[in-house]
C-alpha cells in the first residue's frame, strides 16, 4: 500500500449517531482496486467507487472497538453488553452458565448483539465458570495415519460436540513420550487409542482427568479378532510358509506386535507352519529386497494393514510370483485404495465406528456423573474376500 493511501486510510473521523453507536468515516482521494478490496474484506461497505474521486464509507460498531491500520480486534463481552444494553456479567452468565435465569427478551438481545458482532465466548472463561476443562485429548499412536483412523477422529469430533466438548488430537509414542504435557493441559478426558500404561492412567486420574475406554481388554479383543480372521482366511488353501508383514517405520508401532502375536496363536491352533516376521517398507525396491528371501510357492502373508499388503502385492508381482495362485495376501482396514488395486485386495474390515460410539458413551457418562457402561462390541473384525486369497 502506498504512503499516500496509508495516510488516507489513517484519516478516520468519528461522530455520534442516534442510538449511541459511532460512525467511522474513511476518506480517500486515490483508492486502487486492491485497496478497495481491503476495505471490503474488513466489512466496510462502500457507498460508491470510482478512480480519483472522493469516497466515503461507514462502519457501525459498538463501544470501544478500534481500527488499527485495517485490523479490528476481536469483539469482547463488553462490546456485546453495550450493544445489547445489559451488564457485562449478564453476557458472561448467559454464555457460560446458561440462559434459564434470564428473561427471553434479554437473552434474545444478547444473542442478537453477539451475532451482529460475530462474538465468540472465551473458552477459558467457560472453563473457569464451570470449574472444569472442556477439552478431550484423542491419543493415537505415532504411526501411519490411515483413512480409518481419520474417520474415527472425525466421528469423535462430531459426537463430542453434542455435549460441548472440544477435541485435541495428539500423537503418542509408547515408552518414549511422557504424560506430563497432558497433565499440564488439564483436559477433561483422554481417549486412549495409543495404549497408555496403568501408571500413566493413574497419574491422569489423580489429576482429575478421566481415561476412556476404561477397560483395555476391549482394544485387545479387537486385535485378537483381527489376527484370527486373517489366519482363517489364509488357511482356506494349503499354507507352505506363513509370514507376518510388519510395517518398517522409525515411529513406534503399538499395534504391530500384538497383531503378530494374535496371528501366531491362531496359526498354532490351526496347525499351520511356524510364523515368520518380515519388516516391509512402503516402497517398491525396499519391499522386493525384504520379501525376496522368503517367497516360495504356497506362501501365505498376513499384512499389518492394507498399505503394507499393497507393497507386498507389488513386490510379489515384480518378483514373478502369481497372486493368489502361488502367494496369498490379506491386509487389514478395508481401505478404499485396497479395493482399487488389481488383483483386488482381500482384507479385514474393522467395526471402528461401533468402537468409537461405545467409547463416546463412556465419555458422556463421565461428563454426566453416571456409572460408566462397559464396552459392548462383538465380532469387531469382518473378512472381506477379494482376489488375493
- What pLDDT sits at residue 31? 55
Residues 245 and 313 in one domain: yes
Q: Do 151 and 209 lie in a common domain?
A: yes
Confidence of residue 43 (pLDDT cuts 50, 70, 90): low
Give the residue from 217, 235, 263 where a domain finishes.
217
Cα distance between residue 31 and residue 9, in whole Å: 9
Please check whether residue 365 lies inside any domain of the structure. Answer: no
* Least confident among 7-11, 360-364, 374-378: 7-11
Averaged confidence pLDDT in the chain: 79
- Identify the domain boundary among 43, 72, 101: 72
Number of domains in the chain: 4
* 204 in the same domain as 82: no
**Structural domain contains residue 120:** yes
Q: Is residue 144 part of a domain?
A: yes
- Same domain, yes or no: 251 and 342: yes
Would you say residue 86 lies in a domain? yes
Compute the distance between CA of residue 281 and CA of residue 363 in angstroms, rounded to an integer. 37
| 367 assigned to some structural domain | no
Greater model confidence, 164 or 107: 107
Q: Is the pLDDT of residue 52 over 70?
A: no
What pLDDT is stored for residue 216 in this prediction? 62
81 within domain boundaries: yes
Residue 163: give the domain boundaries: 135-217
Establish if 387 belongs to a structural domain: no
CATH number at residue 100: 1.10.260.40
- pLDDT bin (cut points 50, 70, 90) of residue 174 is confident
Q: Are residues 261 and 319 in the same domain?
A: yes
- Alpha-carbon distance 16 to 200, whole Å? 60
Which stretch, 143-147, 163-167, 285-289, has highest mean pLDDT? 285-289
Residue 30 in this model has a pLDDT that exceeds 70: no
Q: Among 298, 231, 225, 285, which residue's Cα sits nearest to residue 258?
A: 225
* Sheet with strand 241-247: strands edge to edge: 275-280, 241-247, 299-303, 327-330
232 and 345 share a domain?
A: yes
Residues 295 and 337 in one domain: yes
Q: Which of 177, 193, 217 corresponds to the end of one domain? A: 217
Mean pLDDT confidence for 107-118 = 90
Higher pLDDT, 188 or 125: 188
Has residue 23 got a pLDDT over 80?
no
The secondary element (H helix, E strand) that includes residue 78 is: helix 77-84
Give the number of other Cβ atoms within 10 Å of residue 329's Cβ.
Answer: 27
CA angle 146, 151, 154 (to 5 degrees): 130
Task: Please tell me the predicted confidence (pLDDT) of residue 219.
Answer: 59
pLDDT of residue 100: 74
253 and 282 assigned to the same domain:
yes
CATH number, position 150: 3.40.50.2300
By C-alpha distance, which of 259, 247, 261, 251 is closest to 310? Answer: 247
Q: Based on the domain organization, do 225 and 341 belong to the same domain?
A: yes
263 and 150, same structural domain?
no
| Span of 173-177, 193-197, 359-363, 382-386 with lowest mean pLDDT | 173-177
Q: Could you tell me if 357 and 339 are in contact, meaning their C-beta atoms sit under 8 angstroms apart?
A: no
On the question of pLDDT at 273 being above 70, the answer is yes
Q: Do 297 and 234 belong together in one domain?
A: yes
Same domain membership, residue 260 and residue 325:
yes
161 found inside a domain: yes
Amino acid at each position: 500500500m502506498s504512503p499516500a493511501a496509508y495516510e488516507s486510510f489513517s484519516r478516520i473521523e468519528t461522530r455520534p449517531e442516534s442510538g449511541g453507536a459511532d460512525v467511522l468515516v474513511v476518506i480517500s482521494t486515490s483508492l486502487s482496486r486492491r485497496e478497495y478490496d481491503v476495505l471490503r474484506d474488513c466489512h466496510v461497505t462502500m457507498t460508491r467507487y470510482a478512480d480519483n474521486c472522493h469516497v466515503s464509507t461507514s462502519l457501525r460498531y459498538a463501544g470501544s472497538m478500534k481500527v488499527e491500520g485495517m485490523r479490528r480486534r476481536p469483539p469482547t463481552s463488553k462490546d456485546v453488553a453495550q450493544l445489547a444494553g445489559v451488564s457485562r456479567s449478564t453476557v458472561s452468565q448467559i454464555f457460560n452458565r446458561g440462559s434459564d435465569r434470564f428473561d427471553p427478551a434479554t437473552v434474545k438481545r444478547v444473542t442478537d448483539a453477539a451475532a451482529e458482532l460475530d462474538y465468540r465466548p472465551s473458552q477459558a472463561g467457560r472453563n473457569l465458570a464451570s470449574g472444569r476443562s472442556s477439552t478431550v485429548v484423542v491419543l493415537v499412536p505415532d504411526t501411519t495415519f490411515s483413512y480409518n483412523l481419520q474417520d474415527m477422529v472425525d466421528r469423535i469430533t462430531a459426537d463430542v460436540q453434542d455435549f460441548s466438548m472440544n477435541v485435541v488430537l495428539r500423537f503418542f509414542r509408547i515408552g518414549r513420550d511422557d504424560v506430563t504435557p497432558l497433565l499440564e493441559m488439564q483436559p477433561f478426558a483422554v481417549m486412549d487409542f495409543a495404549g497408555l500404561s496403568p501408571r500413566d492412567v493413574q497419574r491422569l486420574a489423580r489429576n482429575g482427568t478421566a481415561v476412556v475406554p476404561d477397560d483395555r481388554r476391549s482394544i485387545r479383543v479387537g486385535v485378537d479378532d483381527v489376527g484370527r480372521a486373517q489366519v482363517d482366511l489364509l488357511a482356506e488353501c494349503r499354507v507352505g510358509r506363513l509370514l507376518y508383514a510388519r510395517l518398517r517405520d522409525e515411529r513406534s508401532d503399538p499395534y504391530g506386535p500384538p497383531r503378530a502375536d494374535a496371528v501366531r496363536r491362531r496359526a498354532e491352533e490351526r496347525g499351520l507352519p511356524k510364523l515368520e516376521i518380515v519388516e516391509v517398507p512402503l516402497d517398491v525396491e525396499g519391499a522386493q529386497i525384504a520379501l525376496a528371501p522368503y517367497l516360495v510357492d504356497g506362501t501365505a502373508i498376513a499384512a499389518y494393514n492394507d498399505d503394507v499388503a499393497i507393497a507386498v502385492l507389488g513386490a510379489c508381482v515384480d518378483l514373478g510370483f502369481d497372486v493368489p495362485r502361488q502367494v496369498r495376501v490379506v491386509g487389514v482396514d478395508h481401505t478404499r485404495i485396497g479395493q482399487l488395486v488389481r488383483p483386488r485386495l482381500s482384507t479385514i474390515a474393522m467395526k471402528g465406528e461401533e468402537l468409537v460410539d461405545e467409547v463416546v458413551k463412556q465419555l458422556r457418562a463421565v461428563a454426566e456423573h453416571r456409572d460408566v457402561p462397559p464396552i459392548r462390541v462383538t465380532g469387531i473384525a469382518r473378512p472381506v474376500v477379494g482376489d488375493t486369497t
